[in-house]
Amino acid sequence: MNKTKRKIFETSMRLFAEKGYDGTSVEEITSIVGVAKGTLYYHFSSKEEIFYFLVEEGMKLLQNSIAIKTAQLTSAIDKLRAVILIQCKIMSKYQDFITIVISQMWGKGPRNKRCREYVDQHIDVIRNIVEEGIKKKEIIDVDAETIAAGIFSTTYVSLYKSIKTGNIEIKEISKEIQNIILNGLKVE
């Protein structure tokens, strides 16, 4: 991604997170970036395309990071530990991205639907790990979908609370979430 496209991307992400998609105009983006509308439209055909690009890139980062880290692990519990830590790191580092995805999940429009699809895909990755653990008798027999959604949402809410209070210790937050969720899932 060239410098101008990256600046458009980063500015849009910040504005979408602060003001919402509908509250952000192309004029505002171009003004802050310091480019003409034509330059923005050279890189992105519309504000909508910027939004979709932003969400897709963020979700790819999350999915790729999880795939790389979990590929080396054999235990489902260890994989879930890795997922929680990666979620904590990415959600903390890319707070604007997560704010956009979560805020746009609700509603009936195409953006809302796309954000739900991405979150569902991510939860499916976690669900598959939980199901793998159940089959291997590493995890108790539970509703894998509920546990997967719980892992995602607990990470998000825990980080939100930590960010709000200014106490962001990623490894500590990750360990707390792991202890709360994973200790109850292990087959003893």
Instruction: Please check whether residues 39 and 112 belong to one and the same domain.
Output: no
Question: What was the pLDDT predicted at 167?
Answer: 67
How far, in Å, CA of 94 to CA of 17, rounded?
11
131-140 confidence digits (pLDDT tens): 999 999 999 9
Instruction: Please check whether residues 118 and 135 belong to one and the same domain.
Output: yes
Instruction: Please check whether residues 16 and 87 belong to one and the same domain.
Output: no
Q: What is the mean pLDDT of residues 45-56?
A: 95
Q: Is the pLDDT of residue 45 over 90?
A: yes
Query: Per residue in 61-97, is it b (16+ CB within 10 Å) or e — as a string?
Result: ebeebbeebbeeeeebbbbbbbbbbbbbbbbbebbbb
The CATH number that applies at residue 15 is 1.10.10.60
Instruction: Please check whether residues 169 and 125 belong to one and the same domain.
Output: yes
Instruction: Please check whether residues 103 and 12 belong to one and the same domain.
Output: no
Burial of 101 per CB tally in 10 Å (0-12, 13-18, 19+): buried
Mean pLDDT of the chain: 91
The count of structural domains within the chain is 2
* Cβ–Cβ < 8 Å for 74, 39: no
Instruction: Please check whether residues 104 and 145 belong to one and the same domain.
Output: yes
Question: What was the pLDDT predicted at 36?
Answer: 94
Q: What is the mean pLDDT of residues 135-164?
A: 89
Q: What is the mean pLDDT of residues 27-56?
A: 95
Instruction: Please check whether residues 55 and 124 belong to one and the same domain.
Output: yes
60-108 confidence digits (pLDDT tens): 999 999 999 999 999 999 999 999 999 989 988 888 899 899 989 999 9
Instruction: Please check whether residues 133 and 76 belong to one and the same domain.
Output: yes
Instruction: Please check whether residues 29 and 64 belong to one and the same domain.
Output: no
The CATH number that applies at residue 152 is 1.10.357.10
Domain that holds residue 137: 51-185
User: Cα 61 to the chain's mean position, in Å?
Assistant: 9
121-132 confidence digits (pLDDT tens): 999 999 999 999
Query: What Rg value do the Cα atoms of the chain yield, rounded?
Result: 18
Note the pTM of the prediction, 2 decimals: 0.88
Instruction: Please check whether residues 7 and 59 belong to one and the same domain.
Output: no
State residue 35 phi and psi, 5-degree precision: -130, 160
